[in-house]
Amino acid sequence: MAVIAIVGSQWGDEGKGKIIDTLAEKADIVVRFSGGDNAGHTVINPYGEFRLHLIPSGIFYPQTTCIIGSGVVVNPAILLQEITEIQAYDVDVSRLILSDRAHLIMPYHILLDKAEEKRRGQAMIGTTCRGIGPAFADKAARIGIRAGDLLDDNSFYHHLKSVLDIKNEILTKIYNIAPVSLEKTYEQYRDYGKQLAPIIQETSTILHKGLANNDSILLEGAQGALLDLDFGTYPYVTSSSPLAGAGAVGSGLGPKEINHVIGVFKAYNTRVGEGPMPTELKGEFGDLMREKGHEYGATTARPRRCGWFDAVAARFSIQLNSCDATALTHLDVLDSLSTIKICTSYQVNREILNYFPSKASLLKQCQPIYEELPGWQTSTRNIHSFQQLPAKALAYIARLEELSGCPIKFISTGPRREQVIRR
Ligand code: IMP
């Protein structure tokens, strides 16, 4: 069968959870490959409404093995809480597996994330304060603690002690914060380790067995391309790669195993946190979009910044991800508008830019150049076939395809499972 990566293609919150939930129906394995509990994937299905931060969105199908891959940083408390929450809805979690290579978010990561944000003051990034950046920094610095480390009490204790020696110096001497207790943290994480031991495994082997078995595998992205550590609006980015390429690295598959990449886009743009967003609408219109689209962060409940679809950024994301198809979500949010704008290029002083600049300071100066299309002003919420969409909605979709250079294969017109049109 095929390996399909499903990736966010704007600044996160594109509605990946729903598209993954839709496609997972036929998947044997779903793997989360990057990010951590900064992600919040909303899934509405017959079990109820869920905001999954770590567990792959395929968990609701009885045949699907769900893997939290090595590229994810995991807060064990959040994972255990999420397991308990979905078990309360009678969802079977026996097919959940956590990579032994996945790094753990420790209490000092969360304290440092908050302290670093405070210290940045006006220059803050607007992180989710979940400890994501400090955990990935420790991974790169080779002092991280991995899920598999919890399975050996003695070595875990000594590793934790050596890391805490440094972290407590930083917490107390630089940030004036109380130190993290070695004994308390050790006991707490030992307990998490006992609870998680049955699901901690080497996962690359499982995936390669799946490949040999012709299994259908979905790679579940988190965040979005414009938050990528290398290609996003640095430094206003997350600390891992949400790109499809990271789907191979963060799961343990080889890059040639990925057969298809689906980029998920909202029919407009949103962003949560700081950093440039050329098409942002600051006034009444942005507020209207926020209310219609319920644009509040699934993880932090922060109001999302809203704006028109940015085709310059979309082209860039599609290239970065090698998308061969896209999914367009939240189309219904635009239903009532009389005109809809699409940003086709940027202007800085007298210069026209047709590319997404690498410097956040330049992107901040970019003025969007818009093309205006007529709105369809009728509800798309209960439409189930592509041909039945209003002609003006079809024209909007066709223009997005033309400008971004990739076919739109899925259109979502509401939060429920059945509100997806497949082309
Ligand atoms: P961090 O990932 O918590 O370090 O946050 C870095 C930036 O990424 C901030 O602007 C966050 O708001 C943003 N971010 C992180 N995760 C998500 C997500 O799942 N959706 C949208 N924005 C996110």
For CATH 3.40.440.10, the residue range(s) in the chain are 2-100+200-261
The domain 265-422 is placed in CATH, from the list 2.30.30.100, 3.40.710.10, 3.90.170.10, 3.10.105.10, at 3.90.170.10
38 Cα–ligand 1 center, Å: 6
Catalytic residues: 13, 41
Q: Is 304 in the pocket of ligand 1 (CB under 6 A)?
A: no
For CATH 3.90.170.10, the residue range(s) in the chain are 265-422
Percent above pLDDT 70 for the chain: 100
Predicted local confidence at residue 268, as pLDDT: 96
Q: Which of 13, 73, 128, 305 to mutate to test the pocket of ligand 1 (most atoms within 8 A of CB)?
A: 128
Distance CA 261, CA 215 (A): 17
342 DSSP β-pair partners:
309, 371
> Could you say which DSSP state residue 19 is in?
H
Domain 2-100+200-261 CATH class label: alpha beta
pLDDT digits (tens, 9 = 90+) for 260-300: 999 999 999 999 999 999 999 998 878 888 988 899 987 78
Q: Is 127 in the pocket of ligand 1 (CB under 6 A)?
A: yes
For CATH 1.10.300.10, the residue range(s) in the chain are 103-196
Distance CA 115, CA 276 (A): 23
**DSSP one-letter string for 191-239:** HHHHHHGGGEE--HHHHHHHHHTT--EEEE--S-GGG-TTTSSTTSS-S
Does residue 161 register a pLDDT over 90? yes
Q: Which residue has the higher pLDDT, 132 or 296?
A: 132
User: What are the tokens at 291?
Assistant: 């209310």
Does residue 117 register a pLDDT over 90? yes
Give this prediction's pTM.
Answer: 0.96
Distance CA 13, CA 70 (A): 22
Output the average pLDDT for the chain.
96
Q: Is 227 in the pocket of ligand 1 (CB under 6 A)?
A: yes
pLDDT digits (tens, 9 = 90+) for 38-73: 998 888 888 888 999 999 989 999 999 999 999 999
237 Cα–ligand 1 center, Å: 7
Does residue 95 register a pLDDT over 80? yes
Task: Name the residue at shortest CA distance from atom 9 of ligand 1.
Answer: 127
Percent above pLDDT 90 for the chain: 90
The domain 103-196 is placed in CATH, from the list 3.90.870.10, 1.10.10.10, 1.10.300.10, 1.10.10.60, at 1.10.300.10
Q: At what angle do helices 153-169 and 107-120 cross, to 10 degrees?
A: 20
pLDDT digits (tens, 9 = 90+) for 184-239: 999 999 999 999 999 999 999 999 999 999 999 999 999 999 999 999 999 999 99
84-106 average pLDDT score:
96
270 Cα–ligand 1 center, Å: 12
214 Cα–ligand 1 center, Å: 35
306-319 average pLDDT score:
98
Task: Name the residue at shortest CA distance from atom 10 of ligand 1.
Answer: 273
Q: Which of 6, 105, 227 to mutate to test the pocket of ligand 1 (most atoms within 8 A of CB)?
A: 227
Predicted local confidence at residue 1, as pLDDT: 62
Q: Is 272 in the pocket of ligand 1 (CB under 6 A)?
A: yes
Position in ligand 1 atom list of the atom nearest CA 39: 19
14 Cα–ligand 1 center, Å: 13
Q: Is 126 in the pocket of ligand 1 (CB under 6 A)?
A: yes
**DSSP one-letter string for 271-316:** E-SSS--TTB--SHHHHHHHHHTT-B-TTT-PBPEEE-EEHHHHHH
